[in-house]
Structure 1
Amino acid sequence: MEHADYVYTTGMDESDLEKRLRTGDHGVLALADGNDAYAVPLSYHYDEDQFLLRVSYHDDTTKRRYLETTDTATFVCYGGATDGSWSVHIRGPITRSERDVDEATLNEWFPPFHLFDEAVEDVEFELYELEMASVAGRETVD
């Protein structure tokens, strides 16, 4: 890497990890089915006791299939700019949440849902909990 530009990074301490998770609301969930991978951007809610994901469904069953076949999922939230960047990786089992949550609470916990070429009445939501078996974060060093 003699001629490549680079920046140094370091691991985040627990308070920085908590801050990033509390202040963020979206990232990318990576799932697998055997040797086939699938990643999807999702909104999340973190309350220090649990990490919840709002998963939407419409005509596409791809997410459901991958959620059923994934033993250990990975969720990455991140931010970046030329003067600094960070990322948090959460790994663990993912399961459908049995919590009964009303729409007002969902609207409080999650940012507005972005619709893509579908009618709002055709979209269903389910909550999934990602067990935080492993949490690691990195950030650039000044």
Structure 2
Amino acid sequence: MSDDVADDVTPGRVRGGQMTDAEIDAYLETQGTGVLSLADGNRAYAVPISFGYESGRAVFAYWQFRPDSTKLAFTETTERACLAVYDFNAQTDWRSVLAFGPLRELGTDEWAEVGELMDENAWSPDLTGVGRRQLSIVGFEMPIEEVTGLKREPDAASE
């Protein structure tokens, strides 16, 4: 990943280009939701997901409402997952990060650390009335092997 930022997309109005490693880390630390893309052969499966992050890895808590979870089945066959995280305020003010890596199921002895990371920036749904009696949670870690980020932001001088 390059630390260079591309020239203005629209001279005098918008700066854009690649995000630096430091910008990507800072961005992922402040976000808590994204889309996790999984694969099984030539079939893809993408799910909205909340995550915890620290430099070099993302952690997830899979909320399972039934034992035959599609998400879990795809996770087991995915060699390399993709976490897409993005936000936008306007056409000239947005960020987008793609992080890639394998998924590893976490043991119960690792849950305390995962809980801390999830508490720092993950979002958890209100499960009232959703059948909590059938709910189970499985933790996963994605060591990030490759990451790329793009941004576009207003030029402060033109605002």
- The answer, yes or no, to whether TM exceeds 0.5 is yes
1:48 shift after superposition = 2.0
**How far, CA to CA, are the matches of 2:132 and 2:80 in structure 1?**
31
CA RMSD between the two structures: 2.4
1:9 shift after superposition = 3.6
1:50 shift after superposition = 2.8
Residue ranges of structure 1 left out of the alignment (5+ in a row): 1-5
1:140 equivalent in structure 2 = 152
1:131 to 114, 131, 143: 143
1:42 to 19, 43, 49: 49
**How far, CA to CA, are the matches of 1:37 and 1:116 in structure 2?**
30
1:27 to 30, 34, 56: 34
Amino acid at match of 1:121: R
Establish whether residue 86 from structure 1 lines up as the match of residue 98 from structure 2: no
**How far, CA to CA, are the matches of 2:34 and 2:97 in structure 1?**
9
Change in CA separation of 1:111 and 1:75 when aligned onto 2, cut-off 3 Å: same
**How far, CA to CA, are the matches of 1:8 and 1:115 in structure 2?**
41
Q: 1:26·1:41 contact (CA, 8 Å) conserved in 2?
A: yes
1:66 to 56, 63, 74: 74
Amino acid at match of 2:97: V
Q: 2:52·2:119 contact (CA, 8 Å) conserved in 1?
A: no
1:117 shift after superposition = 6.3
- SS of corresponding position for 1:101: helix
1:39 shift after superposition = 0.3
1:44 shift after superposition = 0.5
Aligned residues: 136
Amino acid at match of 2:34: G
1:13 shift after superposition = 0.8
1:72 shift after superposition = 0.6
List 4+ stretches of structure 1 deviating above 4 A.
none
- Bigger radius of gyration among the two: 2
**How far, CA to CA, are the matches of 2:129 and 2:80 in structure 1?**
31
TM-score normalised to structure 2 length: 0.75
Q: 1:10·1:141 contact (CA, 8 Å) conserved in 2?
A: no
1:125 shift after superposition = 1.0
Once the two structures are superposed, residues 66-90 of structure 1 have per-residue CA deviations (whole angstroms, 9 ceiling, x without a partner) of 0011001000111013241111110
Change in CA separation of 1:41 and 1:69 when aligned onto 2, cut-off 3 Å: same
Residue ranges of structure 2 left out of the alignment (5+ in a row): 1-9, 155-159
> Could you tell which deviates more after superposition, 40-49 or 93-102?
93-102
**How far, CA to CA, are the matches of 1:131 and 1:95 in structure 2?**
8
